[in-house]
Amino acid sequence: MARTASGALLPGIVVDISAKEPMSAQLFNALRQQIKVGGIDPGIRMPSTRTLASDLGISRTTVATAYEQLKSEGYLIGKEKSGTFVTDVLPQALSLQNVASPELGPTDADLETDLAMRFDDNPLKPRERTSRTLPFNPGIPAVSEFPSQVWSRLMRPIVSQLAPSGIARCPAEGAIELREQVAGYLANSRGVVCSTDQILIVSGTRQALLLILLGLSNPGDCGWTEDPGYPGTSVSYNLFRVKPVPVPVDGEGLMVDEGIRLKRDAKFAYVTPARQAPLGHTMTIKRRVDLLNWAHETGGYILEDDYDGEYRFGGQPSPSLQSLDPDGRVFYFGTFSKTILPSLGIGYLVVPRRYIETFRSLLDAVSRPPSLATQLTTAEFIATGAFEGHIRKMRSLYIRRQNELSRVFENELGPLLETHVLNAGLHLLGYLQDGQDDRIVANKARSLGLFPRPLSDYTIDAKLRSGLLIGFSNMSEDSMPRASRVLRRAILESRNA
């Protein structure tokens, strides 16, 4: 105990001269602790710095430093001419450290916001977090084929040599090196006509949708979605109180006439023209022109998601809507998650010229760009040709795997599953026999360690045959017979259920 000639007696204050922690910090911590637990009474006068220094056998500067710090944090108060006092704010208030206790009441989010209401129709559910690499999961590329060694070799000098000027900041719209490579890639491979200026680096499709809706939507606007289609579109629309209008899809892609009949003055039309998700059709040129005309006549915006556009298994990809657009009404976006790695967190959004500044500012306002080292490595991956080589290799691998899976299904499942091979993408479609609920089959399959997705999850009003999306990209040919037999069991057991 430190004895003091005047002022408070200070219990339990010990300063260890041999400790690594500076003595002033030790003293500060000890005093603060005592004030917090009431070991030093509120309102009491503290010993002078001289007195306490002498009591503890330390320098007066050390004590003064600790006192200053305690003052700056409000534990001590200096009063002119009369000394230093412990705050009289109640200790209870100071020591209310009982957070993090699970007994907290029910959420009040529902009361405080209409978030819940906005998601009544289309609940905002966490996506599945597990089972991502289980067999048949659609949308996972062949991750084990990723050229990690090449990537690592490209990244090493980037990380090691990042000069001060390079690592200080990345502009909101992304690194120029990556944007130039993306512009070149999109021009050559995807028929996108844009300057580097128009490209924003985003984390993925959902951030692209966020920016568009944040920038251009008003509550109460309407937006077309494909039905069946990517469920994330409605989630994004709902976040901004934009009403999703499901528009049917046929073999030519989105039925533009139907969209016009349902809601001509929608502000947005979300489409996957390269490879309709999930049915796999390519949008015909006629439909593309119809859609562009609609946008032109009504002032609507086309949100072109180049979903799986890179994985076509025959012929050249069709021209993007973006490249056909004389009027700058198309926002084009895509991601490297299927062509490089799902965990890369890098995508791109091409905005019409007149929105460049607005969208750069919006992006700057809502996020920081992906790690610069990752961006620069991605740029090098493209620039060196490794990217193109990887895609080419994957394309032939996926053709083989899809063909093999389809053959194995015929052997193992026969009439239980009517297999539809698609000419693009990372999954095929398997239609179930009439009367089987695809969600029940998918759940059963999950319980047996497979991860096909029920087609029902992609529909809103559309009446489709019951079926499964079955990924083939991330499984070896060897593993297919066994997985097929397990799927057979799931189908049969669901039937009896």
Q: Interface residues for a second copy in 360-399 (CB under 8 A)? A: 360-362, 364-374
Smallest distance, a second copy to C-beta of residue 122, A? 11
Between 149 and 496, CB nearer to a second copy: 149
Q: Which residues, at least 6 apart from 5, have a Cβ–Cβ distance to it below 8 Å? A: 47, 51
What token pair was written down for 413? 């499942």
Q: Does 78 bind a second copy (CB under 8 A)?
A: yes
**Residue 47: is the preceding peptide bond cis (ω within 30°)?**
no
What token pair was written down for 304? 């072109």
Between 238 and 484, CB nearer to a second copy: 238
Q: Does 316 bind a second copy (CB under 8 A)?
A: yes
Q: Which of residues 220-249 bind a second copy (CB under 8 A)?
A: 232, 235-236, 239
Hey, what amino acid is at 32? R
Smallest distance, a second copy to C-beta of residue 496, A? 33
- Measure the CA–CA gap between 167 and 37, rounded to whole angstroms: 45
Q: Does 44 bind a second copy (CB under 8 A)?
A: no
Q: Which residues, at least 6 apart from 486, have a Cβ–Cβ distance to it below 8 Å? A: 445, 448, 449, 450
Q: Does 149 bind a second copy (CB under 8 A)?
A: yes
Helix axes 372-383, 176-190, angle to 10 degrees: 40
Q: Closest Cα to residue 474, out of 5, 135, 24?
A: 135
Between 152 and 447, CB nearer to a second copy: 152
Q: Does 51 bind a second copy (CB under 8 A)?
A: no
Q: Which of residues 412-471 bind a second copy (CB under 8 A)?
A: 423
* The one segment of 19-27, 258-266, 395-403, 436-444 that binds a second copy by CB under 8 A: 19-27
Q: Does 140 bind a second copy (CB under 8 A)?
A: yes
- Measure the CA–CA gap between 1 and 12, rounded to whole angstroms: 5
Smallest distance, a second copy to C-beta of residue 416, A? 28
Q: Which of residues 81-100 bind a second copy (CB under 8 A)?
A: 81, 87, 89, 93-94, 96-100
CB 247 within 8 A of CB 298: no
Q: Does 1 bind a second copy (CB under 8 A)?
A: no
The residue from 247, 279, 346, 422 that contacts a second copy (CB under 8 A) is: 346
DSSP type of residue 44: P
* The one segment of 11-19, 156-164, 394-402, 435-443 that binds a second copy by CB under 8 A: 156-164
**Residue 454: is the preceding peptide bond cis (ω within 30°)?**
no
What token pair was written down for 454? 């029920």
User: Given its phi and psi angles, is residue 449 left (phi above 0), alpha (psi -120 to 50 degrees) or beta?
Assistant: left
The residue from 39, 44, 159, 386 that contacts a second copy (CB under 8 A) is: 159
Q: Does 473 bind a second copy (CB under 8 A)?
A: no
- Measure the CA–CA gap between 247 and 462, rounded to whole angstroms: 9
